[in-house]
């Protein structure tokens, strides 16, 4: 099914021959749409190639996953990189937000003597410092998770020893080109937290932050103990993370000059989210492949209902979560400039995409 929108007659409308996408290794509607081939199908009749950033071997193109510099591109994934990019004045627009709960916890090894967050006083908390990356989203995520854990235990950051464990391997790997493949396969995902996990095993740190598929994987492998279960907290503010909410963004120029293409992309993604709700097993299989974990770990990593939570919106609570994340990144020096999140949002593609899908 092709979701062709009503054509806009404009003789000077810019011709587009290729669209680019990228997605993080997290549950997204984009992952489902890509897996089903719906983005390729949507634009094939226009002669437009739709491809992953991984289709290019150029480092600058692949790194657009973080700084959104590649023209005519979409990104769906963690919110920290687009917030960082927008804070630097880059022209990208926020067009959708989704929230799929994920495993999040501060963990330690058995026998550490750390049973709850109050026991973190004076202990060493490890965070991987990715020294060769523009924006260290993992470092920021770990600090936010720790901050909430310490508050629950009546402590502050000054009560623990923050230990940075350096990682020189960049987030974006140099591997074989692929038309639709994710930049972050199973190998890359396993490497993301390797430095601090090894530090934990060697006894160089006492606790670390874990999120997503790595959580149940580490519980099975190392029998790690949850010092503070972030996912279990009732207060949603505490559960805000890099992937809660997930952000869908688009190049500003593409939206300005070819809003029809953006609308169709959004509609195809919304169609994928709707399909996922009715195809639980298939969706868990797709997501397991996307995030680089065994299919059976998808449910404990992202809750059994993850297939029903891929639709995106611009609801006030989700926008407020992005504002909270912006404030946290600014407070701790991950971004240098603030900006108005509400002005960053472009609501038209979502509204028009919904209309197109329903027509």
HSE, CB side, 13 Å, CA atoms: give it for residue 169.
Answer: 11
- pLDDT exceeds cutoff 80 at 323: yes
- pLDDT exceeds cutoff 70 at 6: no
Q: What average pLDDT does this structure show over 230-238?
A: 94
- pLDDT exceeds cutoff 80 at 244: yes
CB atoms within 10 A of CB 4: 15
How many residues does this entry show for the chain?
A: 359
Band the pLDDT of 356: cuts 50, 70, 90: very high
Mean pLDDT (the chain, rounded)? 93
Tell me, what's the pLDDT at 295? 84
Q: What average pLDDT does this structure show over 76-100?
A: 97
For residue 111, which phi and psi values (nearest 5 degrees)?
A: 80, 10
User: Closest by alpha carbon to 33, among 41, 78, 120?
Assistant: 41
Spatial contact of 212 and 32, defined as CB atoms under 8 Å apart: no
Q: What average pLDDT does this structure show over 178-198?
A: 84
Place of tokens 């639980």: 280
Percent of the chain with pLDDT over 90: 79
Percent of the chain with pLDDT over 70: 96
Name the pairing type of β-strands 225-229 and 104-108.
Answer: antiparallel
Tell me, what's the pLDDT at 8? 47
What 3-state DSSP class applies to 256? helix
Is 18-100+243-358's fold the same as 104-239's? yes
- pLDDT exceeds cutoff 90 at 299: no
What does the alpha-carbon distance between residue 303 and residue 161 come to, in Å, rounded to a whole number?
A: 32
Spatial contact of 335 and 353, defined as CB atoms under 8 Å apart: no
Tokens describing residue 262: 């953006």
Residue ranges of domains in the chain: 18-100+243-358, 104-239
Q: Please give the CATH topology (third level) of the domain spanning 104-239.
A: D-Maltodextrin-Binding Protein; domain 2 (3.40.190)
- pLDDT exceeds cutoff 90 at 59: no
What does the alpha-carbon distance between residue 233 and residue 187 come to, in Å, rounded to a whole number?
A: 31
For residue 2, which phi and psi values (nearest 5 degrees)?
A: -105, 130
- pLDDT exceeds cutoff 70 at 1: no
Listed in sequence order, the DSSP H helices in 105-204 are 137-152, 186-191, 194-201
Q: Where are the beta strands (DSSP E) in the chain?
A: 18-23, 49-52, 73-77, 92-98, 104-108, 124-130, 161-167, 207-211, 225-229, 246-251
What does the alpha-carbon distance between residue 54 and residue 237 come to, in Å, rounded to a whole number?
A: 34
Q: What average pLDDT does this structure show over 85-111?
A: 96
What does the alpha-carbon distance between residue 217 and residue 25 come to, in Å, rounded to a whole number?
A: 15
Tell me, what's the pLDDT at 28? 95
Tell me, what's the pLDDT at 203? 97
Pick 350 or 60 by higher pLDDT: 350
- pLDDT exceeds cutoff 50 at 87: yes
Tell me, what's the pLDDT at 173? 73
- pLDDT exceeds cutoff 60 at 114: yes
Band the pLDDT of 191: cuts 50, 70, 90: confident
- pLDDT exceeds cutoff 90 at 185: no
Sheet strands side by side (includes 246-251):
49-52, 18-23, 73-77, 246-251, 92-98
Pick 70 or 189 by higher pLDDT: 70
What does the alpha-carbon distance between residue 46 and residue 16 come to, in Å, rounded to a whole number?
A: 9
- pLDDT exceeds cutoff 80 at 125: yes
The CATH class for the domain spanning 18-100+243-358 reads alpha beta
What does the alpha-carbon distance between residue 61 and residue 107 come to, in Å, rounded to a whole number?
A: 36
Spatial contact of 205 and 96, defined as CB atoms under 8 Å apart: no
- pLDDT exceeds cutoff 80 at 326: yes
- pLDDT exceeds cutoff 90 at 175: no
Band the pLDDT of 2: cuts 50, 70, 90: low
Q: What is the DSSP string of 46-61?
A: TT-EEEEGGG---HHH
Pick 332 or 290 by higher pLDDT: 332
- pLDDT exceeds cutoff 80 at 10: no
Instruction: Return the exposure string of 74-92: e unless at least 16 CB atoms fall within 10 Å of the residue's CB, then b.
Output: bbbbbbbbbbbbbbeeeeb
């Amino acid at each position: 099914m092709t979701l062709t929108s009503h054509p806009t007659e404009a003789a000077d409308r810019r011709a587009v021959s290729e669209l680019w996408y990228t997605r993080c290794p997290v549950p997204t509607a984009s992952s489902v749409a890509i897996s089903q081939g719906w983005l390729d199908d949507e634009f094939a009749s226009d002669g437009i190639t739709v491809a992953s950033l991984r289709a290019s071997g150029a480092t600058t193109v692949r790194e657009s996953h973080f700084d959104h510099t590649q023209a005519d591109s979409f990104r769906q994934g963690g919110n920290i990189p687009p917030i960082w990019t927008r804070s630097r004045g880059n022209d990208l627009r926020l067009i959708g937000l989704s929230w799929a709960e994920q495993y999040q916890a501060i963990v330690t090894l058995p026998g550490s003597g750390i049973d709850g967050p109050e026991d973190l006083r004076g202990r060493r908390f490890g965070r991987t410092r990715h020294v060769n990356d523009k924006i260290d989203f993992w470092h920021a995520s770990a600090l936010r998770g720790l901050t909430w854990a310490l508050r629950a235990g009546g402590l502050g950051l000054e009560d623990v020893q923050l230990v940075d464990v350096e990682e020189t391997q960049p987030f974006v790997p140099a591997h074989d080109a692929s038309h639709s493949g994710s930049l972050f396969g199973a190998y890359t995902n396993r490497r993301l937290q390797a430095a601090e996990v090894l530090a934990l095993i060697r006894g160089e740190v006492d606790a670390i932050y874990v999120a997503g598929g790595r959580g149940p994987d580490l519980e099975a492998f190392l029998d790690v103990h949850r010092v503070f279960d972030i996912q279990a907290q009732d207060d949603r503010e505490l559960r805000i993370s890099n992937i809660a909410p997930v952000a869908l963004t688009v190049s500003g120029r593409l939206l300005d000059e070819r809003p029809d293409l953006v609308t169709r992309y959004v509609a195809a993604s919304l169609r994928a989210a709707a399909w996922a709700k009715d195809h639980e097993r298939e969706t868990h299989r797709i997501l397991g492949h996307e995030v680089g974990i065994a299919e059976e770990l998808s449910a404990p990593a992202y809750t059994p209902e993850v297939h029903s939570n891929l639709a995106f919106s611009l609801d006030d609570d989700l926008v407020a979560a992005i504002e909270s994340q912006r404030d946290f990144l600014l407070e701790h020096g991950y971004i240098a400039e603030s900006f108005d999140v509400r002005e960053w949002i472009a609501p038209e593609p979502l509204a028009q995409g919904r209309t197109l899908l329903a027509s």
